[in-house]
Structures are given as C-alpha cells and as structure tokens.
C-alpha cells in the first residue's frame, strides 16, 4: 500500500510516501518512496523533494493554498522529472495518513477519518488554535484530490499520553476550569515518544510491559516523557506545547505571574505575551542570537559568549531536572532515550545533560556517545544501572504504519 503521509503546518506542508503493509511492518521493511516539504504556501513556495536516495531537488512554484500545493505535489511526483517510478497518478496512492496535533480527550488512538472524526478534530480547535485548523485544511485538501473512497487516517500527537493519570494531568487550579474548559495537561510529540519506546524495546528484546524509560525528544520543540510498563505516565508539555523543557524559541516552564507582569510593563495583551513566550524565548531569547543549537555550539567554541553559554547551560539543566523528577515519579527507570535533531546528533548536549547523574547509576561512555550520531544505539557504559540510548525518531513511519493498521482494522499497539 502506498501511503501519503502529510504534516500540514502553518507555513509548510511536509510529506512522505511510504510503501508498506502488514507484512512489511512485521519484517521492518517499509520502503520510503519520496519525501520533502513545501514551504510558505500562499505566494511563492519553495519545494524540497527527494526520491529515495536520489539527490535532493529544490525549486519554486506559485501556489495559492494548501489544496493547490497538494495538487501540484502529486502531479510532480507522477511526472518523469520526479524520479519516482511507483506513482503515475492519484490512483497509485492508496491511503493518506495525517499528523494531527490535538486530539483532546476524545482521540485515544489513531482514527479513520469520517465526518464524525472531522467534527471531533474541529471541536479541539479551541485547545490548539494554531495547529488543528491547518491539519484540517490538509485533510480537506486530500479529500478533494483523492476523493472520499481513498481512506484517510488521523494520527494524533496527544494520543500516546492518554494513559497519564489524573494526578499528573490535572493542574492545581479550580476544578471547575477543568470541567468547563478541559484545561489539563495533554502532552505532545506522542508519536515520537511512542516510536522510540518501540525501537528501544525492539533493540533490547523486551516486551511493552518491560519498557520503563524516560524519553527526551530534543528538536526545535522539546519534551520529555516518563514511560512505565510501556505507558506514558507523565510528560513535560501541557495544555499546549509551551510548557516544560527549554526549546528553540519557547520558554518552557515559568511562573504564570510573569505573563501579567510582562503584559503590564511592556503594554502588551496576554496573547501577545503568549506569542513572545512561544516565538522569542528559549534558546533564542536567552542567547539573543539564534534558536539553532548547532549554531550556538559553534559560537561557543569560537567565542565563549556569556549569553550563548547561559542558553546552553539552562537548556541542559532543565532537561536534567526533568530526568530527576521522572526518576522519582516512576520509582526508577531502566534507560534514558535521546531523540530529535539535538538528541540524535549532539553527543556534547547529551553528555552535558547526563553529567552528574552518576548518583542515579548513569555513566556515559564517551566513545559510544561520539559514535551515535544519526544512528541508534547505546551511549552509556554497558554496565550502567541506568542505561542511555540515542534513537532516531521517525514519526512519518509510525503514521504510515498506523494508517495501514487502522484501515485493515488491526490493533495498532502503542
């Protein structure tokens, strides 16, 4: 089955086509046919495209909206220029899997999209006003292009965290605010946490029930999850992806009184302060330079700038603090798993986060750590009581696999 995986964001449409079915999933032999991104639709769009291992192509097109972008994309893939031989028309795409950011309390697992599910995703717009409307546009555009008979599946960022117990998901604010508005911790990056937990247990030959780990997804957005017996029992992102770890441009945890103070002093509205916390804070806000960890580390090497150093120090300290709190929440764990652009590629940040965790039984193996860049494996010593791994995430693959399993009515284990 050729599954088109779509991630429709506010300024970009990311896509992949993955050929898979139950047999391929079983054998771990899914095939990536092509992948890429269309950035800034609504004017001149920049398209990045790669068929299998061919060189990346980059070109521009005038695309008015997401429907036009999707239509253009499928035509391009079907053309001779793309280098894709498997797709000749829309009929060669048998299913579409969508990343949907917020599934609220309703979607505990991935769902086959019908009018009822569409309505459910719409009902979650209040909880994710920046994300769900774009995800919905992606779904509607795909319906238009492929027709109602091509099955589409929604895979939610929040679903994996449905197992979090009340004591961890409720905020200590008046309870009626939860009852009236469903204000609670939902957590995000669920597809990534779920995927690396699956890879971890496959690597170690463990069952789901034997999976007791802390996963750290460190990319532009960052989050931690406490996974006990295979279930997420706590996570650092909250009602929105703003809470928790320090991120590229997001503050993560802070005293809520800061919002009112900044609004008053700077003459801003609460929603303007929220935007500042989402887009001008984190690594960017502290360093005053960039949200890009690679650039910060390079700068640190060349100049040892005080604010750059602070940004990196605060980032690592917050991550370490979460590891400590989750070890307490879980009553100990077997391993820590790093993923995301930073977690997969930066031995330096992994080592800094793990330093002074020797009390918890974690010793990083410098050689293992250096070697594990862009590939999965152990980064601690083999005899560490608390092991550490770097495992590349692959949210698109999990979306494609869930799409197949949902369509065929097979269980899609978390």
Q: Which residues are catalytic?
A: 157
Work out how close the CB of 353 gets to ligand ADP at its nearest, in angstroms, rounded to a whole number: 13
Work out the number of other CB atoms within 10 angstroms of the CB of residue 373.
Answer: 12
**d(C-alpha 356, C-alpha 358), whole Å:** 5
Is 252 a residue that touches ligand ADP (CB under 6 A)? no
Q: Which of 141, 160, 7 is nearest to 74 (CA)?
A: 141
- What are the tokens at 354? 């793990």
Is 48 a residue that touches ligand ADP (CB under 6 A)? no
Is 3 a residue that touches ligand ADP (CB under 6 A)? no
Stretch that binds ligand ADP, among 66-74, 170-178, 224-232, 338-346 (CB under 6 A): 338-346
Among 92, 292, 305, 365, binds ligand ADP (CB under 6 A): 292
Is 240 a residue that touches ligand ADP (CB under 6 A)? no
Among 104, 120, 151, 219, binds ligand ADP (CB under 6 A): 219
**d(C-alpha 216, C-alpha 179), whole Å:** 31
Judged by beta carbon, residue 187 or residue 230, the one nearer ligand ADP is 187
- What are the tokens at 255? 């005293």
Residues 144-203 that bind ligand ADP (CB under 6 A): none
Is 342 a residue that touches ligand ADP (CB under 6 A)? yes
**d(C-alpha 301, C-alpha 309), whole Å:** 10
Stretch that binds ligand ADP, among 251-259, 292-300, 351-359, 363-371 (CB under 6 A): 292-300
Among 248, 252, 282, 285, binds ligand ADP (CB under 6 A): 248
**d(C-alpha 177, C-alpha 180), whole Å:** 5
- Residues counted in the chain: 414
Is 385 a residue that touches ligand ADP (CB under 6 A)? no
Continuous segment of H or E residues that includes residue 100: strand 95-100
Residues 86-125 that bind ligand ADP (CB under 6 A): none
Is 241 a residue that touches ligand ADP (CB under 6 A)? no
Among 103, 238, 285, 340, binds ligand ADP (CB under 6 A): 340
Is 379 a residue that touches ligand ADP (CB under 6 A)? no
β-strands 222-228, 231-235 pairing: antiparallel
**d(C-alpha 346, C-alpha 218), whole Å:** 10
Q: Is the CB of residue 414 less than 8 Å from the CB of residue 194? A: yes
């Amino acid at each position: 089955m050729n599954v088109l995986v779509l991630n429709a964001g506010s300024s970009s449409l990311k896509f992949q086509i993955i050929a898979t079915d139950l047999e391929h999933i079983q054998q771990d032999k899914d095939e990536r046919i092509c992948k890429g991104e269309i950035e800034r639709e609504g004017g001149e769009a920049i398209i990045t495209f790669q068929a299998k291992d061919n060189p990346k192509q980059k070109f521009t097109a005038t695309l008015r909206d997401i429907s036009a972008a999707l239509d253009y994309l499928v035509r391009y893939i079907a053309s001779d220029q793309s280098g894709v031989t498997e797709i000749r028309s829309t009929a060669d795409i048998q299913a579409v899997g969508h990343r949907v950011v917020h599934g609220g309390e309703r979607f505990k697992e991935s769902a086959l999209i019908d009018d009822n599910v569409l309505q459910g995703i719409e009902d979650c717009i209040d909880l994710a006003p920046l994300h769900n409307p774009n995800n919905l546009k992606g779904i509607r555009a795909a319906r238009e292009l492929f027709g109602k008979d091509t099955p589409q599946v929604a895979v939610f960022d929040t679903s994996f965290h449905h197992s979090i117990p009340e004591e961890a998901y409720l905020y200590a604010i008046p309870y009626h605010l939860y009852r009236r508005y469903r204000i609670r911790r939902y957590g995000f990056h669920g597809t990534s946490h779920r995927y690396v937990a699956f890879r971890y247990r496959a690597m170690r030959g463990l069952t789901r029930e034997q999976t007791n780990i802390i996963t750290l997804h460190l990319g532009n957005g960052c989050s931690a999850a406490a996974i006990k017996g295979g279930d997420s029992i706590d996570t650092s992102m909250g009602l929105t992806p703003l809470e928790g770890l320090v991120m590229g441009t997001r503050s993560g945890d802070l005293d809520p009184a800061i919002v009112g103070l900044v609004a008053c002093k700077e003459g801003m509205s609460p929603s303007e302060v929220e935007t500042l916390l989402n887009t001008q804070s984190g690594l960017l806000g502290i360093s005053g330079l960039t949200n890009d960890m690679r650039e910060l580390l390079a700068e640190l090497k060349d100049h040892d700038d005080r604010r750059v150093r602070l940004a990196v120090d605060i980032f690592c300290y917050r991550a370490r603090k979460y590891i400590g709190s989750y070890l307490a929440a879980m009553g100990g764990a077997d391993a820590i798993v790093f993923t995301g652009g930073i977690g997969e590629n930066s031995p330096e940040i992994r080592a800094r986060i793990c330093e002074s965790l020797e009390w918890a039984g974690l010793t990083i193996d410098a050689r293992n750590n250096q070697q594990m860049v862009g590939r999965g494996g152990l980064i601690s010593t083999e005899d560490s009581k608390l092991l550490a791994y770097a495992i590349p995430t692959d949210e698109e693959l999990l979306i494609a696999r869930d799409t197949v399993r949902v369509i065929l009515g097979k269980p899609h284990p978390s």
